[in-house]
Amino acid sequence: MQSPAADKPAPWTPRRAPRRAIANIRDARLATREWGDPAMPPVVLLHGWMDASSSWQFLVDELPDPLFARHRWCAFDWRGFGDSAWPAADTYWFAEYHADLDALLDHFSGNGPVTLIGHSMGGNIACIYAGLRPTRVARLVSLEGFGLPDMPAEGAPERIVQWLDHLRASPGAMRPYPRLDDVAERLRRANPRLSVPRSLYLAAEQAKPVEGGFALKHDPRHKSPGPYSYRLAEAMAAWRRITAPTLWVQGDRSDLLTRFHGADDTDLASRAACVANIRRATIADAGHMLQHDQPVALAQVLADFFAR
């Protein structure tokens, strides 16, 4: 009879191993990983909230060989996520992400234009940045990053009060799990389409030993409310300045629009209309985590977009 350990699935193993490094950017030490020929034009991959650059590995492994060979694929952990440093300040200002990206593009490509591919929060940052620095972005891909719900001015005082209250309280810590297997199970609860081998790979990449077991590496202060309000009109003003060919991609099983945005596809269409040169695509049988759920299909959508 086999032991339970013999029946346990092995963690997923990357086919294209990344090169890892640390980039000293502004006031932060950001962990980077790269794939492909360093001499090729860069494609910069921006992960989402409570995620890390390791999340891109499934997609990178499925990129068609000709597309992979024509580019240098670059990813990094945003400040306070994954293996990047945690800043001393009490709040993560969203504008800091734009400043970090601005400096990182210099690090990856000098003054040359790049392709940006962002997921969720990373997609929102990429879309704003492409409007702020249109000449720096050659192509733009946003995966489930379509902006946030508009926040009316009337709610601003209470939002600042919530922020002040959180500043007085301890940020706490990320929840510990006894084993890495438990971290993997937590990832599968968040995304039921995530396979066991892939969840084990992500758990090993994104968790660290702590007292009581293992915890995700992210700074718990990311869960604190910020004092600022999201102004959809300001985001749209930035989107109207985008000149790069743009692709917005969503999963057909994603509930992002209704669960988080309180919106529907009509609202998304009005947002997409702000971008002059835009295409939209939908990945079948995929939720919010497109790069986890259907990396093969997503890689093909990207190959078609790059070919155009």
The pLDDT confidence band at residue 167, using thresholds 50, 70 and 90, is: confident
Please give the pLDDT value at position 1.
Answer: 40
In the predicted model, what is the mean pLDDT of residues 276-296? 96
What percent of the chain stands above pLDDT 90?
Answer: 78
- pLDDT single digits (tens) 130-166: 999 999 999 999 999 999 889 999 999 999 999 899 8
Distance CA 170, CA 306 (A): 46
| Cβ atoms 274, 180 nearer than 8 A | no
Please name the fold of domain 19-148+162-173+218-307: Rossmann fold (3.40.50)
Please give the pLDDT value at position 169.
Answer: 81
- Residues paired with 72 in a beta bridge: 36, 42
Q: How many CB atoms sit inside 10 A of residue 13's CB?
A: 10
The DSSP output letter for 177 is: B
What's the predicted TM-score (pTM) here? 0.94
Looking up tokens 């400043």 gives: 99
**132 exposed, middle or buried (CB, 10 Å; 0-12, 13-18, 19+)?**
middle
> In the chain, what are the domain boundaries?
19-148+162-173+218-307, 175-216
Distance CA 14, CA 57 (A): 7
- pLDDT single digits (tens) 59-85: 999 999 999 999 999 999 999 999 999
- pLDDT single digits (tens) 97-106: 999 999 999 9
Distance CA 238, CA 220 (A): 30
Please give the pLDDT value at position 255.
Answer: 85
Please give the pLDDT value at position 160.
Answer: 93
Average per-residue pLDDT for the chain: 92
Residue 305 confidence (pLDDT) above 90: yes
Please give the pLDDT value at position 3.
Answer: 47
